[in-house]
Structure 1
């Protein structure tokens, strides 16, 4: 348990940051799920639109420190490759 005032404050900050990051990660997953659903339904236009909507969210997650840059790049690359094969 935190004893010093500084460690108590850090614990409070960590709780707040955890909640914010959790919400952001959930929001990003929702956007990615929409892309996945569009891909499985076979609708290329809907999948492309969903990917366009998901891309800024994913990149925002990178700048906020929720995801690593390469993780986001890999997700975008794999999704766009799957959309490309829909034809």
Structure 2
């Protein structure tokens, strides 16, 4: 257990940051799964409505990844790699 004031503060800050990191990472994973599910339905139907749905999902994932990168949840190269992988999946559809 922490014995001085600065150590106690660091514990609180670590808890806060852990919650923030968990929010961003789990949200990106959830949105990615939803994006992949929508992408599969778009591959089958080739419908413009499905394409718009996929592109909307992709933009929301990009937004969350960029915000996470700005708050040091993701390293900038990790964020770029995730975004590039998703873009490639959409491009090949």
Structure 2 runs not aligned, ≥5 long? none
Match of 1:39 in 2: 39
Q: Which stretches of structure 1, 4 residues or more, deviate above 3 A after TM superposition? A: none
- SS at the partner of 2:88? helix
Q: Please give the per-residue CA displacement for 1:32-71, whole angstroms capped at 9, x wherever unaligned.
A: 2221112222266132221122111110010011111111
Give the alignment partner of residue 55 of structure 1, picking from 41, 62, 71: 62
Indicate whether 1:83 and 2:66 are aligned. Answer: no
1:29 aligned onto 2:36: no
Match of 1:66 in 2: 73
- Find the aligned partners of 2:11 and 2:78 in 1 and give their Cα distance: 28
The TM-score with structure 1 as length reference comes to 0.84
- Matched positions, count: 86
**Structure 1 equivalent of residue 13 of structure 2:** 13
Cα distance, 1:10 vs structure 2: 0.8
- Alignment TM-score, normalising by the size of structure 2: 0.79
